[in-house]
Amino acid sequence: MSKVAIVTGGGSGIGQVTALRLADEGVNIVIVDVDEEGGNDTVDRVKKVGVDALFIKADVSKADQVKKYVDQTVETFGSIDYFFNNAGISGSGQYFLETDIEEIEKVVGINLMGALYGVRYVAEAMLKNGGGSIVNTSSSAGVIGQDSVVTYSATKHGMVGLTKSIAAEYAKDGLRINAIAPGPTETPMVKEFYEANPKMKENAESGIPQKRLGTPEEVAELVTFLLTSKAQYINGEVIRIDGAFTNTK
């Protein structure tokens, strides 16, 4: 029987590429995103690989909508084996004291509360079937401090705490949960952020020992490895994939 994965933020970038990579492994895919066009595009691409796929529109900052995408996945496929808890936004790049309260609430709502709600409902469904595997998307800004992204950094540090603490509570029950901490990666979100803050792109590339941004494909390989049975004894870890960017901090 085919495995089933939920990918939030699957309408573009790392989420979309990871969904396609998991499809290559024969995994059925549920794409969750607020972007209907992007989400349906991913579903169409996934189906061409030869697996089943479903798009569910949801705002992950709303607990009821998170519960709905989890319930709908179980109703459609019977179980959830893998969860890529990936949906997130970067914010404007303003210094913290210049950031609107509304922006702070939005970034926290999507990045942190959305992740907490996701783990809450997905893990509950997984444990009913003996366990499963979760990968949370943190960031290089989740393992070091970075200016101009204070709220984003706070949420991504929160992903680290979420990952380690859930592993401490539920590893004994068959749940594996890990986090990835990508550095600057060539995604639509990062491109948009750097277009608004061009100096930060220059600073990022010069500060990465490998002297380039990462690619979604590179991140997708790591996520697929961590989610699948190839990584059974890796649990509660935060794995950096950043060209040694944070290794020098």
Interhelix angle 188-196/13-24, rounded to 10 degrees, is 160
Q: For position 187, what pLDDT does the model report?
A: 83
Residue with tokens 């010069």: 206
Interhelix angle 114-128/63-77, rounded to 10 degrees, is 30
Q: For position 204, what pLDDT does the model report?
A: 75
Along the 249 residues of the chain, how does pLDDT read in single tens digits? 799 999 999 999 999 999 999 999 999 999 999 999 999 999 999 999 999 999 999 999 999 999 999 999 999 999 999 999 999 999 998 999 999 999 999 999 999 999 999 999 999 999 999 999 999 999 999 999 999 999 999 999 999 999 999 999 999 999 999 999 999 898 877 777 777 777 777 777 778 999 889 999 999 999 999 999 899 999 999 999 999 999 866
Q: For position 249, what pLDDT does the model report?
A: 67
Q: For position 198, what pLDDT does the model report?
A: 74
Q: For position 80, what pLDDT does the model report?
A: 98
Cβ-contact 16, 1 below 8 angstroms: no
Planar angle of CA 214, 115, 43, nearest 5 degrees? 65
| Distance separating alpha carbons of residues 14 and 217, to the nearest angstrom | 7
| Residue-range domains of the chain with CATH | 4-248 (3.40.50.720)
Range 41-59 burial, b when 16+ CB lie within 10 A, else e = bbbebbeebebbbbbbbbe
Single out the residue of 114, 239, 103, 106 nearest to residue 176, CA to CA: 239
Catalytic residues: 152
Q: What is the pTM of this model?
A: 0.95
Interhelix angle 13-24/36-49, rounded to 10 degrees, is 20
Cβ-contact 152, 111 below 8 angstroms: yes
